[in-house]
Amino acid sequence: MIDSLVLGLTHGLLLLTAWRLMNNPALDDESAPPANEAPRSRWGRKRA
Amino acid sequence: MRDLAFIAFLAAIFSLGFRRPFIFVLAYVYIDVVSPQRMSYFLLNAFPISAMAVGFAVLSWLAFDDKKDTRVAPRQGLMLALLAYCYWTTTKADFPIDAAFKWDWVWKALAFAIFLPLTLRTKLRIEALLLFMLLSVATIIISGGVKTALGGGGYGQLKLFVDNNSGLFEGSIISAVAICVIPLILWFTRYGTIFPPDWRVKTFGYALIFACLLMPVGTQARTGLLCIGLLAILMLRDVKRRMVYIGGAAALALVAIPFLPTAFSERMGTIRTYQADASASTRIAVWQWTLDYVKTHPFGGGFEAYRQNEIKYDKVETVGEGASITVVRTPEIDKSRAYHSAYFEMLGEQGWPGLILWLMIHLGGIVRMEVLRRRYWKAPPDQAWISPLATALQHAHMIYLFGATFVGIALNPFVYMLVGAQIGLDTYLARKRAEEGMKPMHKRRDSPAPAAA
């Protein structure tokens, strides 16, 4: 029971880490624009 | 059910690896630390998942990764030399079959440590590697910590997923490793970017540190308690109010003692009366045997050379009280006793050249991290993470090497990942300085000396 809960917790966090890394261009190239910068619309406003 | 969950997890990680090949490196780290194939009853242990992960990692690095301005650190050369030397000693080992078995995992650990820094081209990759190492080892530590808190544990009794006492699942090893990762956890609670340090990260980090501190209690490994002592001393280097820290640590220890299991207190008490303890007495006898052995075998006996030892020693106990106290010496004989020390493990198995190479790799890491710690001590805010990370890596390494005095963990893959991370940080910063034409060390000459350096 304890083992299963711990496996679920740490593996969930590992998966979340990998997911965040996949969406972060700085993983491979630090000069790339940051991922959390929201894409701008044609009018220069940040999209929600 | 657990098998299917592991397969789903690995499938997800591997599929992310095809999008971002560096994730294959992280997958290998995870597999090496957690060993999911050993927790599996079917399916997973039929696939060479470790070989698959490292194969994908190397091939994708060769095919896709940017290798512009790739730097190789001297310590990678030293590890290559140690790898070649270990191969040579394996070919002429005293116990060829047993030596070949150990060589089979040692060469992978060293080869991966040589390869790893080549992939650490960005700060995020260094952070990702350390986070994967931490979360992977947290799987074992949290499980052990919770069971200890619920009253489980005992010397050789704490159940850590698998029962075969190998890798990080052995009590003394996980105790030393659990304490050595604490500086890294603290770094993530202040400077992490994958999970920015908000209240959730801090809560998880501090809870994980508590679980780490419980590991020596749960496993009743004396090594872990000694490592906690070193950690407490090392942390003195950077605390602002040292007297408050010392007072707080002492108060915490006093409050904790009544909650510790009696068996733990009794076992820790044997640190002082080590001569009466067979486990400690045989260590000293084996170390003496090793020193005698290398007098005639200066190049070591190859892996597992300890199997030929036959040691005789006196177990010394004091009996009685007051004026009637007597010292009782009981002769004991033991055979094929393991080294129980990384230093003597290297000396006995690889001889003086192997021990010297090994010391150069590890002491070199501590020195290099000290250089980085001081060089970036007064760095601008965007580089404020560097000095604390170098310090955390250095402290982790020092605690590991201290624990290694009493446990045969000279070639444990975990510490070579730590070494790989150190080299990766070092070469990353060298590349950055070359790119920016900036040397913070020169800039800092005008600034006052660091307070705690």
SS3 state of residue A5: helix
- Region B388-415: mean pLDDT is 95
- pLDDT of B17 above 60: yes
Listed in sequence order, the residues at least 6 apart from A44 whose beta carbon sits closer than 8 Å to its beta carbon are none
CB-CB neighbors (< 8 A) of B135 in chain A:
10, 13-14, 17
What percent of chain B has a predicted confidence (pLDDT) above 90? 62
Minimum distance, in Å, between the CA of residue A10 and any CA atom of chain B: 6
Q: What gap in Å lies between CA B130 and CA B58, rounded to an integer?
A: 19
Q: Which residue has the higher pLDDT, A19 or B332?
A: A19
Specify the pLDDT at position B445. Answer: 47
Specify the pLDDT at position B248. Answer: 86
Listed in sequence order, the residues at least 6 apart from B390 whose beta carbon sits closer than 8 Å to its beta carbon are B369, B370, B372, B373, B376, B425
- pLDDT of B163 above 80: no
- pLDDT of B75 above 60: yes
Specify the pLDDT at position A21. Answer: 96
Is there a domain that residue B132 lies in? Answer: yes
- pLDDT of A33 above 90: no
- pLDDT of B177 above 60: yes
Minimum distance, in Å, between the CA of residue B6 and any CA atom of chain A: 9
| Chain-chain contact of A21 with B124 (C-beta, under 8 angstroms) | yes
Minimum distance, in Å, between the CA of residue A43 and any CA atom of chain B: 30
Question: Based on C-alpha coordinates, what's the Rg of chain B?
Answer: 23
Is there a domain that residue B203 lies in? Answer: yes
CB-CB neighbors (< 8 A) of B13 in chain A:
14-15, 18
| Chain-chain contact of A17 with B128 (C-beta, under 8 angstroms) | yes
Q: How many residues does chain B have?
A: 453
Our count of domains for chain B comes to: 1
- Region B304-315: mean pLDDT is 84
Specify the pLDDT at position B309. Answer: 87
- pLDDT of B284 above 90: no
Specify the pLDDT at position A35. Answer: 58
Residue B209 lies in domain: 127-272
pLDDT band at B25 (very low <50, low <70, confident <90, very high): very high
SS3 state of residue A42: coil
Q: Are B5 and B36 in contact (CB under 8 A)?
A: no
The three-state DSSP-derived secondary structure of chain B is CHHHHHHHHHHHHHHHHHHCCHHHHHHHHHHHHHCHHHHCCCCHHHCCHHHHHHHHHHHHHHHHCCCCCCCCCHHHHHHHHHHHHHHHHHHCCCCHHHHHHHHHHHHHHHHHHHHHHHHCCCHHHHHHHHHHHHHHHHHHHHHHHHHHHCCCCCCCCCCECECCCCHHHCHHHHHHHHHHCHHHHHHHHHHCCCCCCCHHHHHHHHHHHHHHHHHHHHHCCHHHHHHHHHHHHHHCCCCCCHHHHHHHHHHHHHHHHHHCCHHHHHHHHCCCCHHHCHHHHHHHHHHHHHHHHHHHCCCCCCCCHHHHCEEEEEEEEEECCHHHCEEEEEEEEEECCCCCCHHHHHHHHHHHHHHHHHHHHHHHHHHHHHHHHHHCCCCCHHHCCHHHHHHHHHHHHHHHHHHCCCCCCCCCHHHHHHHHHHHHHHHHHHHHHHHHCCCHHHHHHHCCCCCCC
| Chain-chain contact of A7 with B16 (C-beta, under 8 angstroms) | no
Mean pLDDT of all residues belonging to chain B: 88
Specify the pLDDT at position B319. Answer: 73
Specify the pLDDT at position B32. Answer: 93
Partner-chain residue, chosen from A17, A19, A26, that has the shortest CB–CB distance to B135: A17
Is there a domain that residue B49 lies in? Answer: no
Q: Nearest CA to B222 among B281, B266, B157, B159? A: B266
Q: Per residue in B198-242, pLDDT tens?
A: 999 999 999 999 999 999 988 888 889 899 999 999 999 888 888
Is there a domain that residue B450 lies in? Answer: no
Residues 295-324 of B with CB under 8 A from A: none
CB-CB neighbors (< 8 A) of A8 in chain B:
5
Q: Are B25 and B116 in contact (CB under 8 A)?
A: yes
- Region B148-173: mean pLDDT is 74
- pTM of the shown model: 0.88
Minimum distance, in Å, between the CA of residue A21 and any CA atom of chain B: 7
Residue where the block lists tokens 């942390």 = B235
Is there a domain that residue B196 lies in? Answer: yes
Is there a domain that residue B175 lies in? Answer: yes
Chain A residues with CB within 8 Å of chain B CB: 2-4, 6-11, 13-15, 17-22, 24, 26-30
Q: What gap in Å lies between CA B21 and CA B58, rounded to an integer?
A: 9
pLDDT band at B272 (very low <50, low <70, confident <90, very high): low
CB-CB neighbors (< 8 A) of B142 in chain A:
6, 9-10
| Chain-chain contact of A7 with B66 (C-beta, under 8 angstroms) | no
| Chain-chain contact of B123 with A30 (C-beta, under 8 angstroms) | yes
- pLDDT of B327 above 60: yes
Task: Give the Å distances, CA to CA, from B76 to B46, B370, B401, B419, B442.
Answer: 33, 18, 19, 9, 27
- pLDDT of B260 above 90: no
Q: Does ipTM come in above 0.85?
A: yes
Q: Are B158 and B168 in contact (CB under 8 A)?
A: no
CA atoms within 13 A on the CB side of B222: 17
Residue where the block lists tokens 């030393």 = B176
